[in-house]
Amino acid sequence: MKTAPTAAQAPTPDTVTFATRRSIEQVEEGAELAPRFDANGLITCVTTEADTGEVLMLGYMNEEALQRTIATGEAHYWSRSREVLWHKGATSGLVQRVVEMRIDDDQDAVWLKVSVAGSGASCHVGYHSCFYRKVPVAGDRTHSDKLEFVEREKRFDPVAVYGDAPNPTKL
């Protein structure tokens, strides 16, 4: 005898399924989750801090990362530099709890509003946000065209947290 699912049963990643993309109307105006993964099997994810609206990072998700994020309510990404599924915070403890997830018009990008554990940092360099520098535009460039640091102090010491793991930044 089959039993109906109850609230106590957390969905597993296997139970998160995606609809087939059939029409522009379905994708843009419908209520079915039908994400579009690019040639590398990825969708783009922008992650903001739920409380402040600050953009913390831009990441990428493959199918499994998106399924696990939806199933568990904790942000999972695909690490393009390490080429592994990446449960954000597994190493640093700075887990991102998903407060809300949105998807865009053509369903090739998601927006996570998150609450970050611990020091609240999300950047591997040690800053709160990956976007810790301002680029002067238009008239402001007459004063200086140099990047300006908007965060003065790091939230954590990357060497203490990540040890000698390879830096993901590529030249």
Give residue 83's Cα distance to chain centre.
16
| Choice from 41, 93, 100, 118 touching a copy of itself (CB under 8 A) | 100
Separation of alpha carbons 93 and 48, rounded Å? 18
Q: Which of 114, 90, 94 is nearest to 102 (CA)?
A: 114
For a copy of itself, give the closer residue by CB, 132 or 162: 132
- The reply, when asked if residue 145 is annotated as ligand binding, is no
| Choice from 76, 124, 128, 155 touching a copy of itself (CB under 8 A) | 124
Q: How far is the CB of 37 from a copy of itself (least distance, A)?
A: 12
| Choice from 37, 63, 71, 162 touching a copy of itself (CB under 8 A) | 71
For a copy of itself, give the closer residue by CB, 24 or 84: 24
Q: How far is the CB of 93 from a copy of itself (least distance, A)?
A: 19
**Is residue 36 close enough to count as binding a copy of itself by CB under 8 A?**
yes
- The reply, when asked if residue 104 is annotated as ligand binding, is yes
Binding mask 127-156 for a copy of itself (x = CB under 8 A): x--xxxxxxxxxx-xx--xxxxxx------
Separation of alpha carbons 141 and 137, rounded Å? 6
**Angle, alpha carbons 153-85-117 (nearest 5°):** 35
**Distant-in-sequence, close-in-space partners of 148: CB < 8 Å, separation ≥ 6:** 133, 134, 136
Separation of alpha carbons 10 and 63, rounded Å? 19
Query: Which positions make up the binding site for Mg(2+)?
Result: 104, 106, 108
